[in-house]
Chain A
Amino acid sequence: MLKVLKSGLFTTVQDTGRYGYLNKGVPVAGYMDSVSAQKVNMLLENDDHAAVIEITMTGPTLEFGESSYICMGGAVISATLNNEPVQAFQVLKVEKGDILSYGKLKNGFRSYLAIKGGFMAPVVLGSRSFFSSITAKDHVTDRDEIPYKSQKEFTPKITEIKVDSFLDEKVLEVSKGPEYEMLGDKQLEALFYKEFHISNENNRMAYQLEEQLIGHEVSMLTSATLPGTVQFTPSGKLIILMKDGQTTGGYPRILQLSDKAISMLAQKKYHDVVSFKLV
């Protein structure tokens, strides 16, 4: 068991996500920054489906109940294991009673903690990813216990990697969304030549942007949306749906973020800057 001594701001368990229920309105969920989450799993030689802990901005304090191996990475947050500083993207051994404690966020927004074999939060509809109304909890709270298997011996093939960080990149690669053609010259110019600030309305469901385009009066029938879909409201607001985003919507879908762009955006927080580049 992993004991949660302090839960942090918004800490969840996430795997690749919940597949096969989009036609019942169930969002995919899953880790927001799949690039970082897959790297920490890879170092532990876990498969991509192994569940990791997703930490948002302010990290938790955690106590390990059994020995195992861990790896963390993603947003840069200082962390200590039994008061000794630890590095990201490095395989670390933990023993029963060890305490992992997160400190200050330095860069990015979401960090991942993986454990050998993955965290064993209950599987609901094929996934361990937390999601309100599907799993019992939508985030961990103090004194929660998250199961994992004890691992006495493990010799990783690679013990650490240097990561090309994309935390400082701000250009999001996008393709045209289904309703892209509705955009006029002025809207296109603003979309691709301006920078956008992340609004305070940003979470696992969606990121709203502060700057708006000229609005529109296009109405469409409700249709499917995906993580990474950029919705364009009549008043001109841009809403980028993320992993917990609703599966259908009635706003024009003007752009679609690449998988990597979704990971990049997942590391942005209030007032960070992004721009769009069509590929």
Chain B
Amino acid sequence: MSTYDISIRPFGVHSILVEWPNRVEEAILEDILQFIQHLENHCFEDELWEMVPAYNSLTLIYREKPIDFDSFKGKLLEWYAADKKQVYREKILWRLPVCYDPEFGIDLEEVSERSGLSMEEIIKLHTEHRYTVYGIGFLPGFMYLGGIPKALEIPRKSKPRPKVLKGAVGLAGKQTGIYPQDSPGGWNIIGNCSVPMFEPKKSAPCFVSVGDKVQFYPIEKAEYDLHKIEGEVGIYKVEKIILDA
């Protein structure tokens, strides 16, 4: 690893920003995740740093005291240069059920008109690709998913809705994603995912991490309702597949 030219910049006194080349690329994301592991395992010892990876950047936050930027930048560059060895990192694929029923897919018709694809083609395209989680933010548990097929690139709606339902699956530009809670939103809504993406009562409230893969699969309304009931009584298990490295 450590194959890129990274840039390091101050971001207030409690935070430092490390940036990789300005591209959406899996190899870059993997390098960032490898560096996080290296920092956790060999560099930070007992210090409690928060690390926020997203696309081509890693933000490091330390609240206990101000960061001495120049000396810490030097350390980071040394640590990055020393991080030569690629370590095994479990690659996870989450299979997430989506109900594309018109009850949920309120923009399916419009997306069909704008893309020239039939609704069946939209669902087929949306479910046959594996997406990469490039970031989590905007809302707790909201994934920035990359790797959407060109044909599904639909600009966001000109007028955002005041309320999009929790679980709504949307398309916007080069992105697709799930609203983890009711929220205002301007994405084109094509379905609803029956799996909650953020559960604050759990000690690990969000099962997905940056770098994971996500693939959707279509379910009927009846199955959707069943998942919801299973979720409420706590017996629903999300489908997790370990991919070969």
Contacts and interface: CB of A to CB of B under 8 A. Distances in A.
Interface of A: 19-27, 124-125, 133-135, 175-178, 220-226, 228-229, 246-249, 253, 256-259
Contact of B59 (A27, A175, A223, A258): A223
Contacts of B24: 221
18 contacts: A19-B63, A21-B140, A21-B205, A23-B53, A23-B210, A24-B140, A24-B198, A25-B141, A125-B205, A133-B181, A135-B200, A178-B11, A221-B54, A226-B61, A228-B12, A248-B136, A256-B15, A258-B12
Given A133-B140, A175-B13, A22 B61 contact: yes
Contact of A224 (B54, B63, B134, B181): B54
Nearest to A219: B22
Contact of A134 (B59, B136, B137, B200): B200
Given A24-B198, A256-B12, A246 B61 contact: no
B13 A23 contact: no
A258 B66 CA distance: 11
Contact of A133 (B15, B136, B198): B198
B43 interface: no
Contacts of A26: 140, 205
Q: Classify the secondary structure of A's interface with B.
A: loop
Nearest to B203: A125
A135 B181 CA distance: 13
Q: Which of B135, B141, B144, B206 has the most CB of A within 10 A?
A: B135
A243 to B, nearest CB: 13
Given A222-B54, A248-B138, 4 more contacts: A25-B136, A25-B137, A225-B137, A259-B14
Contacts, number: 117
A222 B201 contact: no
Given A125-B200, A221-B22, A247-B52, A24 B59 contact: no
A224 B17 CA distance: 9
B50 A20 contact: yes
Interface string B1-39: 000000001111111010100101000000000000000
Contacts of A24: 136, 140-141, 198, 205-206
A25 B138 contact: yes
Contacts of B50: 19-20, 22-23
Nearest to B56: A221
B51 A23 contact: yes
Contacts of A178: 9, 11, 17, 19
B224 interface: no
Given A22-B50, A134-B200, A258-B13, A224 B139 contact: no
A223 B140 contact: no
Given A178-B11, A246-B139, A248-B137, A223 B200 contact: no
